[in-house]
Amino acid sequence: MDRKPILDVKVDMMGESVHLEGESGAVTMIPFKGSVRGEIFNGIVEPCGVDTQVLNAAGVRHMSARYMLTGEDAAGQKAHIYVENNGWFEEKHRAMPFHTVPTFYTDSAALAPYLHRNQFVGEGRIEADGLHIYFFEIPHGEQA
């Protein structure tokens, strides 16, 4: 199904990632910043985002990216959107694009009724200019 994204987040890695490995698995924390564009919001990814990836002993990777968007909503008002974006996959079956489940919080009066009540999916794609995370609304009655 061809869906139009509500947001396109361009991720720019920054600084060094931090990694540990132990007998029960591994953890990598990747700091990032970036930009965001879409019909509902345009702005930046604040330079405090972090993608925490936990690989357990069974070979399942849990990715949890948390970050703040600052910019302008569709009504032309200054606003923020907090994103918590989670995804899981078996390490030996890493898919590209990868799929995620986002949760949004916003201080935008125009966006809150939409972002706080609807369901969305995310899709990560490597493109010529780097990593993009696209967010799509799941139409009522459709499964992700």
Give the residue from 56, 48, 45, 43 showing the smallest Cα distance to 30: 48
Give the chain's length. 144
Give the residue from 2, 7, 61, 6 showing the smallest Cα distance to 36: 7
**Domain annotation covers residue 46:** yes
**Domain annotation covers residue 1:** no
Predicted local confidence at residue 3, as pLDDT: 83
CATH of the domain at 111: 2.40.160.20
- At 108, give phi and psi (nearest 5°): -85, 120
CA-to-CA distance for 119 and 1, rounded, in angstroms?
A: 17
**Domain annotation covers residue 2:** no
CA-to-CA distance for 81 and 68, rounded, in angstroms?
A: 6
Predicted local confidence at residue 96, as pLDDT: 77
Q: Give, in degrees to the nearest 5, the angle at Cα 132 between 27 and 128.
A: 110
Which three-class secondary structure state does DSSP give residue 92?
Answer: helix
Query: In tens digits, what is the pLDDT along the chain, a chain of 144 residues?
Result: 468 899 999 999 998 999 999 999 999 999 999 999 999 999 999 999 999 999 999 989 999 999 999 999 999 999 999 999 999 988 777 777 899 999 999 999 999 999 998 899 999 999 999 999 999 999 866 555
**Domain annotation covers residue 27:** yes
**Domain annotation covers residue 14:** yes
Cis, peptide link before residue 47, omega less than 30° from 0: no
Domain span at residue 43 reads 7-137
pTM > 0.85: yes
Give the count of beta carbons closer than 10 Å to the beta carbon of residue 39.
10
**Domain annotation covers residue 142:** no
Which three-class secondary structure state does DSSP give residue 112?
Answer: helix
Tokens of 97: 């694009």
Predicted local confidence at residue 11, as pLDDT: 98
Q: Can you name the residues that pair with 120 across neighbouring β-strands?
A: 137
Predicted local confidence at residue 95, as pLDDT: 74
pLDDT in tens, 8-40: 999 999 989 999 999 999 999 999 999 999 999
Task: State how many domains the chain has.
Answer: 1
**Domain annotation covers residue 106:** yes
DSSP classification of residue 32: E
